[in-house]
Structure 1
Amino acid sequence: MMKEWKKILLLAIPSIASFASSTLTGTINLILVGHLGALAIAIVGVTNVVMYNVWALFSGIGHTTNYLVAQNYGSNDMKKGIERTYIAFYLCIAASVFILLVGLLLPEGIFKVLGSSAEMIEEGTSYLQIRFFAMIFGTFTFVFHGFLRGIGDTKTPMISTIIGGALMIFFTFGLTYGKFGLPEIGLVGAGIAFFIGEVVTFLFCAYVYFIKLHPEYGTRVRIAFNRLESKLIFGESSKLGIQEFSLAMAMFVFTGFVTRLGTEALAANEIALSVMSFGFMPAFAFGSTATILVGQEIGRGKPLNGRRAGTHTAILGCIFILLLGTFEFFFSEQIAKIYTKDPQVFHLAGKLIMISAFLQIFDGLLNFYAGALRGIGDTSFLLKISLVLGWVLFIPLSYVLTFTLNLGSVGAWISLYAYLTVFGISMMVRFYRTDWNTIRLKTVENAS
């Protein structure tokens, strides 16, 4: 068992560092921008939810690349893995056109749909627009990361994320407040800093994929159009993308509910979400590790080894989240004070952090077992359960607890974790009720 745990940790720890770097970058940026006031915090928070929705819509391309390449790596057929990665790049080009058009035409309308104040719309439109342009590069980066993790390389995504994050922090401070000889352009400067970080991360990954890995994997090739493979990847990407988008849209509506409670409530909500993202960090990392290990074992024709790897990954992930939750529970208000000195905001944020400190274990279960199910290609179930729980349970419950019962932000967060609890348990049940003896490598022949 110790040998297996060591293997899991060698993959998971760089992923944790990668997600930690991304989370820490977002946290520091929010703290830096937070000195501009509660309005700036609220704008960044709403923008983060919007961009999460955009990322989620196209994230299926990266998730599909990840699990298919892991299976191809396990079966020692990386020629097929490279072909599938190129098809994913072509899908990213189509996605980029859509993102560019939305970024040019709709930022102001998005704020209006969310019920934002006139002041928030005026101050936040340019920032949101720049973040859309940055997302174009982020979409490609997620595919690069999916490929790299599929072959068991979690260190390169870590390094690229750290470099990009460090640049984001540097330019956020410099461009927001006019430091290091840079112009002082406030919130727009923070948006430009985000754009710079995304572009540099993309360029680093492109160098590794096309230059460094070419001698071993032949990554610079001309790929002829393969209709069946393209159909497979488009179908899998659509299912995983809609699954993530459903979850993201549910959070979008949830944020819309909280927005109507006022700027202070929204600011507290975003601070709590920022803190909770440290819990999402090991959840995402171990979920990604589960995809890698399960996918590779499926490729080797050893599905029961994949089931065991998924179980051990979930156990280790739960340990990490419980340790983190304990710290967050006992120091909730002190943590909230790091973000803001407004008593109304940090008191409420502290309560929200306490509510979710230990309940985030269920978000962990969701990510661990969803990652494992992606590894076997069980994408149809992931899509169906996400749609049902998001729109039949989460959204109606959020409305009832927030407004009908007048519980405000606390009610909203109770509904959030009720949803994550049911979601996480459902994923775990599906994982253990699956007949692993029937699991096979995903090909165009057995894609259905």
Structure 2
Amino acid sequence: MTTQSTNRFKSYWRLLIAAIRGKEEDFTTGSIRKAIFMLSIPMILEMLMESTFALVDIIFVSQVSVNAVATVGLTESVITLLYALAIGLSMAATAIVARRTGEKDKKGAAEAAVQAIILGSALAILIGIIGIIYPKEILSLMGGEANLIEEGYGYTRILIGGNITIFLLFLINAVFRGAGDASMAMWALVLSNCLNIILDPIFIFGFGPIPAYGVEGAAIATTIGRGTAVFVQFMILFFGWGRIKIGIKDFVFRSKVMLNMIKVSLGGIGQFLIGTSSWVFLMRIMSEFGSDVLAGYTISIRVMMFTMMPAWGMSNAAATLVGQNLGANQPDRAEKSVWKTGKYNAIFMASISLVYLIFAHEIIALFSDVSDVVKYGALSLQVIAAGYVFYAFGMVTTQAFNGAGDTKTPTIINFFCFWLFQLPFAYFGAVTLDWGPIGVYLAITLAEMLIAAIAIIWFKKGKWKLVKV
């Protein structure tokens, strides 16, 4: 290794440590590449932490009973709707806090953070009351059988009843990201996950004086883990350990800020609901081709979702950079940040795509030894990965709109590309033309390309630079 290569490695290593530790930076000045790196690393790790929650629960719950696993699945389907609300509010919180941070308006950023917390808490409490009173009815509505409902309603009651921890964990982390404190969002989830991993087996199987709660124990562990992380988040905000500091006196209703928050969040909620519902319908089409095909598709999607975490981390970094630089009245720097992030994302996605194209069968074979599962799972990886480079730019530009506070544009793009193009094409190709599963795979790939093309064209028009939040 040459001296130049050694120095470069040391430089990147120092940046990596600084990003994880959360060194304070002004992302409206200096190197854009450094800003992307400093924001992306903790955001990538944060998303990886979030993805381990469900995985850890399933690992332990699967040792209880089949009904326990089914209960988790049905409850998670309901929780997905809560995620839509939480993610929509989070997009608004990130955009508004980032804009105020770029404007160097600390008071305005704190006000936005507080209004997001108040709104999220109010929604969570209403939903929590329903979850506490009607857990059996919720499981029944989702199609749960009588014995499953009797065994698992406690899990549903605890998880939905304590959903305020989900809302606040999402929202306060969004506030941290908008302010540029991405590492604090990451460490909050590290704490939450570590507690969940430790507490899951204790509450599920029992330990010492703590009885075995079965599947309910998973809900208890998850709620305690998230709740503890939220407590730490509030400490960070109240003591001003990050860029934003709030106090008890700040917890007052501010109609103008609240209405702005709701307006921006509606687009974010719409984006999530459109995307989620389209995947549900695609799954329904895939179910027509048998369990082996469906299993292969499910495995491939899980693999892709996990490997795309770094791409989403970089896209979220672009959202923060856009918001802060627009706030600092530097729209050109905001635009440059998006193109540069898009380039890095495309390089990453291209490398992942190459791995899928070459080793698709080997990857799916790690999860199943059934020949048809491997065959169709590998085909799914290969066909969908063909659009990855395009989607890399689509992801970044979509999040750039959100970071600017223009959540309506991505919602319109998603509606057109998912509902008006992807779903009809998938059904027409897979069923009407009898192409089988490849019809669905092609629909996903072409929709990814279409999203990227429309988003880039729309982004180049520059109207997002004029959005006020």
TM-score, length-scaled by structure 2: 0.80
2:333 aligns with one of 299, 302, 305: 305
2:181 aligns with one of 148, 153, 163: 153
**Superposition deviation, residue 220 in structure 1:** 3.9
* Cα distance per residue 1:306-365 (max 9 Å; x no partner): 111111111112222222333344333443344456555455433333333343344433
Mapped to 2, the partners of 1:272 and 1:33 lie a distance apart of 23
- Contact 1:41 1:267 (8 Å CA) reproduced: no
**Superposition deviation, residue 79 in structure 1:** 0.7
Task: Give the letter aligned to residue 192 of structure 2.
Answer: G
**Superposition deviation, residue 124 in structure 1:** 6.8
Q: How does 1:420-435 map to 2 (within 5 A)?
A: 420-435=448-463
**Superposition deviation, residue 422 in structure 1:** 1.5
- Alpha-carbon spacing, 1:320–1:60, altered in 2? closer, same or farther (3 Å): same
- Structure 1 residue 99 corresponds to structure 2 residue 130: no
**Superposition deviation, residue 77 in structure 1:** 0.8
Partner residue, 1:325: 353
**For the aligned residues, what is the CA RMSD?**
3.5
* Cα distance per residue 1:134-177 (max 9 Å; x no partner): 5431111111111111111110111111222233334445555x
1:138 aligns with one of 160, 166, 172: 166
- Contact 2:99 2:324 (8 Å CA) reproduced: yes
- Contact 1:389 1:419 (8 Å CA) reproduced: yes
- Alpha-carbon spacing, 1:32–1:102, altered in 2? closer, same or farther (3 Å): same
- Contact 1:14 1:154 (8 Å CA) reproduced: yes
Greater mean alpha carbon deviation, residues 261-270 or residues 142-151: 261-270
* Cα distance per residue 1:372-399 (max 9 Å; x no partner): 1122222222222222333212232333
Task: Give the letter aligned to residue 139 of structure 2.
Answer: E
- Largest Rg, 1 or 2: 2
2:41 aligns with one of 2, 13, 16: 13
- Alpha-carbon spacing, 1:199–1:336, altered in 2? closer, same or farther (3 Å): farther
Task: Give the letter aligned to residue 20 of structure 1.
Answer: L
Greater mean alpha carbon deviation, residues 325-334 or residues 154-163: 325-334
**Matched positions, count:** 437
Mapped to 2, the partners of 1:34 and 1:408 lie a distance apart of 32
- Contact 2:86 2:167 (8 Å CA) reproduced: yes
Mapped to 2, the partners of 1:409 and 1:134 lie a distance apart of 39
**Superposition deviation, residue 102 in structure 1:** 5.2
SS in 2 for 1:331: helix
Identity among equivalent pairs (%): 23
1:283 aligns with one of 305, 311, 327: 311
Greater mean alpha carbon deviation, residues 10-19 or residues 416-425: 416-425
- Alpha-carbon spacing, 1:430–1:35, altered in 2? closer, same or farther (3 Å): farther
- Structure 1 residue 442 corresponds to structure 2 residue 461: no
Mapped to 1, the partners of 2:407 and 2:199 lie a distance apart of 39
**Superposition deviation, residue 241 in structure 1:** 1.4
Partner residue, 1:378: 406
- Contact 1:23 1:277 (8 Å CA) reproduced: no
Mapped to 2, the partners of 1:218 and 1:398 lie a distance apart of 49
* Cα distance per residue 1:244-290 (max 9 Å; x no partner): 22222222333344456555554444322221112331232112111
- Contact 2:111 2:250 (8 Å CA) reproduced: no
- Structure 1 residue 111 corresponds to structure 2 residue 142: yes
Partner residue, 1:72: 100
Q: How does 1:75-224 map to 2 (within 5 A)?
A: 75-101=103-129, 103-104=131-132, 105=134, 106-112=137-143, 130-133=158-161, 135-173=163-201, 178=205, 187-213=215-241, 217-224=245-252
**Superposition deviation, residue 88 in structure 1:** 1.2
- Contact 1:59 1:244 (8 Å CA) reproduced: yes
- Alpha-carbon spacing, 1:355–1:67, altered in 2? closer, same or farther (3 Å): same
Greater mean alpha carbon deviation, residues 103-112 or residues 273-282: 103-112
Mapped to 2, the partners of 1:97 and 1:219 lie a distance apart of 22
- Alpha-carbon spacing, 1:433–1:172, altered in 2? closer, same or farther (3 Å): same
TM-score, length-scaled by structure 1: 0.83
Partner residue, 2:9: none
Mapped to 2, the partners of 1:2 and 1:232 lie a distance apart of 31
Partner residue, 1:446: none
SS in 1 for 2:104: coil
Partner residue, 1:314: 342
**Superposition deviation, residue 74 in structure 1:** 0.8
- Contact 1:4 1:309 (8 Å CA) reproduced: yes
Task: Give the letter aligned to residue 468 of structure 2.
Answer: K
SS in 1 for 2:308: helix
Task: Give the letter aligned to residue 76 of structure 1.
Answer: K
- Structure 1 residue 238 corresponds to structure 2 residue 266: yes
Greater mean alpha carbon deviation, residues 57-66 or residues 252-261: 252-261
SS in 2 for 1:284: helix
Mapped to 1, the partners of 2:219 and 2:436 lie a distance apart of 30
Partner residue, 2:85: 57
- Contact 2:88 2:269 (8 Å CA) reproduced: yes
Q: How does 1:322-401 map to 2 (within 5 A)?
A: 322-340=350-368, 345-401=373-429
- Alpha-carbon spacing, 1:225–1:274, altered in 2? closer, same or farther (3 Å): same
**Alignment gaps of 5+ in structure 2:** 1-28
SS in 2 for 1:221: helix
**Superposition deviation, residue 368 in structure 1:** 0.7
